[in-house]
Structure 1
Amino acid sequence: MRIFRRLTVPDRLKAAGRRIVVAGTLGGLLAFAVTAGSLTWVRDSADGHIYQMNTVPAAPVALVLGAQVGFDGQPSAFLAARLEIARQLLNAGKVKAILVSGDHGNWNYDEPGSMMVWLAARGVPTSKIVLDHAGFDTYDSCSRAHRVFGVDRAVVVTQGYHLERAVALCRSLGVDADGVGDDSVRVFREMWFRSEIREQGAAVKAAADVLSRRDPIFLGRHETGVEDALAAS
């Protein structure tokens, strides 16, 4: 006859603790696998499409991804560096128009408007600048570039830590994209490091967005801004 031993409270706590440890370990392994797989997808998708400014193949459009704008409406150092690359690409004849895509979800915060003002103040004709007011994240910017503005080929401009993900997303969403990244703002070491760390989670989100094929937060109708800018070339 088998005799069952009643578990005491400490025994039960130990058993529950072991289950928690096992579940936590499995969860950690799963999270690691998902993150590693997402990062691999990003790197493989962008492989062969990352360039320096003087070697990037020509494309009709430079897609400049938005970043923080100050209370005074001035682009942050990170965003200004992106805009300067786009300006130089236009001057060098590498692109014929600049699509600035950023967050304008509130009237008192306008990334694309600030980007246009910055470029125009430095000699870029406004006829060459197209504004996307609903680029709320990288996925939305790439998706809207293709689905709303009709962009099939572009040079994506952002910081180096963000570039592979941006190129991977655009290429997955119908834009034949190459990328040029800025590294000049590495001098802001703490911000750059934090941004690199955030890219781990951002890669997972990017992979999930591509798998879901979600619509952008705001899709809207077709806009002819890019076509008009190219026709004015």
Structure 2
Amino acid sequence: MTQCGRPPRPPGGAVAGPGVRRADATTDRHDRVAVRTARGRSARRRRGSTSMSESNLLLLVTVLAVVLPVVVAVVVTVVTVRRIRRDPRRLGNAYWLLATAVLLGWVLSIAGSSGNPVFGALVLAVVLSPLITLVFAVFCVLNGAVMLRRERLSLGNSLSLLTGLAIIGLLVAVWPVLALDSLVLRALWLACLLAAAFLAFQFAAFLGYAWLHRWLVRDRPADWVVVLGSGLHGSEVPPLLASRIATGMDELARRRAGRLVLSGGKGDDERLAEGEAMARWAAAHGADPAVLTAETGSRTTEENLRFSSALVGDGPGVIVTSNYHALRAALLARRLGIDAQAVGAPTAGYYWPSAVLREFVAVLREYRVANAVLLALVAVPVPLALVLLAG
């Protein structure tokens, strides 16, 4: 019986001749070649399968890296819009809005970097963040110089200048800190940098939302309008306060409200209460004296709202103040349970940035415990860990 295609051995166990042996050797070589060929094909199939698996995995990672930021950005945007529509008088809306802006910026940077999310994040964090910080610092210094030239010298009017100089000083300090080769000094600088970054994030959120808030006021009827005082020049109404009263009179007519409350007590350097002077100004400029009410006992914004609310009752209303102050007034109204929106009267453009910075400091003070805890959680752990690990 023939095996493997070989010729039969001679009968009687005779030795095969040379021709048969050559045929056997040729057949063995063919068999070895066939085995090697089969093994090669199997290896190529395995390599091809592995290559396809790696390609599929790479494709999946790329798709997730591109799609996931888009999905997160869409979800955060939807949540932000819903929160603002439900109640624009919430401080948390400011942080949701900034998170939306950052995520959308990341998505745009990914699109501009051929779908590379890491490169997009690096562009956003390494290039844009320091540039924006430096531009903001220079803007604060220039605005502070304008404020000191046009307004009286005070801590409030110097706030933007001091903020800009502090940011520039913190950025410049990195070179001497690195040169001194002191771990403790580097840890302190890092803690200051993290604290500044935390406050900058909060201020960016507050600034953006304060600017946006003017377009979020709903056009609905109101039972009353309250105008908040802002200080007199002796017994005279200054332009800033006159702008508030004029806006309050416009809101009274536009919303068909039945009462205009002028709210403000008497300061130490004032000859009469702000509410009384404001009521006189409104009457002299065409307001019906029958709808005017002067509230003269308040000394702070919170007292303005509390005392005025006690005069007008529970109906819906409008609070009129300067545009830089409108967001904080709206936040206070919500916290006090007052059904009112805040409308901002126009203010000089150079005055707005510094005034918003003052309002931001006031909001930090109102939530000082929560902000102190968050600031410590952001600024302390990493520098402390570096010092302890090095020691």
Equivalent residue letter for 1:96: G
1:16-95 matches, cutoff 5 A = 19=184, 22-23=187-188, 25-26=190-191, 29-30=194-195, 33=198, 36-37=201-202, 43=209, 50-51=216-217, 56-71=219-234, 73-95=235-257
Distance 2:238 2:256 in 1: 25
1:184-218 CA-to-partner distances (Å, cap 9, x unmatched) read x32xx443332122122122134459x9xxxxxxx
The TM-score with structure 1 as length reference comes to 0.65
Distance 1:199 1:59 in 2: 26
Match of 2:355? 195
Residues of 2 paired with 1:32 and 1:101: CA distance? 38
Distance 2:306 2:201 in 1: 24
Q: Counterpart of 1:33 in structure 2: which amino acid?
A: F
TM-score by length of 2: 0.41
Letter in 1 for 2:357: I
Q: Tell me the matched-pair count.
A: 189
1:49–1:179 Cα contact (<8 Å) kept? no
Output one character per residue of 1:69-125: Cα deviation in whole Å (capped at 9) or x when no partner: 112x22111111111111122233432111111231446242111100001112222
Encode CA deviations 1:23-56: one digit per residue, 9 max, x unaligned: 4643564465367558858949x969833xxx63
Q: Distance in 2 between matches of 1:148 and 1:23?
A: 52
Cα-Cα RMSD: 3.5
1:48 and 1:123 map into 2 onto residues whose CA distance is: 26
The 3 A distance-change label for structure 1 pair 179 and 56 is farther
Between the aligned partners of 1:65 and 1:104, the Cα distance in structure 2 is 13
1:134 aligns with 2:297: yes
1:55-204 equivalent positions in 2, closer than 5 A: 56-71=219-234, 73-106=235-268, 108-147=271-310, 150-183=313-346, 185-186=347-348, 189-204=349-364
Q: Is the 8 A contact 1:138 1:166 kept in 2?
A: yes
Larger Rg: 2
| Partner SS state of residue 161, structure 1 | coil
Contact conserved, 1:65 with 1:101, CA < 8 A, in 2? Answer: yes
3-state SS in 1 of match to 2:220: coil
Q: Which has the higher strand share?
A: 1
Q: 1:62 touches 1:155 (CA, 8 Å); kept in 2? A: yes
1:56–1:179 contact (8 Å) kept in structure 2:
no
Amino acid at match of 1:204: L
Q: Partners in 1 of 2:359 and 2:256 — Cα distance?
A: 28
Long gaps (5+) in structure 2: 1-179, 372-391
Q: Within 5 A, what are the aligned runs for 1:211-226?
A: none
Structure 1 gap ranges (5+): 1-13, 212-233
Q: Give the C-alpha shift of residue 61 in structure 1.
A: 1.1
**Structure number with higher relative contact order (C-alpha < 8 Å, ≥ 6 residues apart):** 1
SS at match of 2:227: strand
Change (3 A) 1:136 1:118: same
Richer in helix (by share): 2
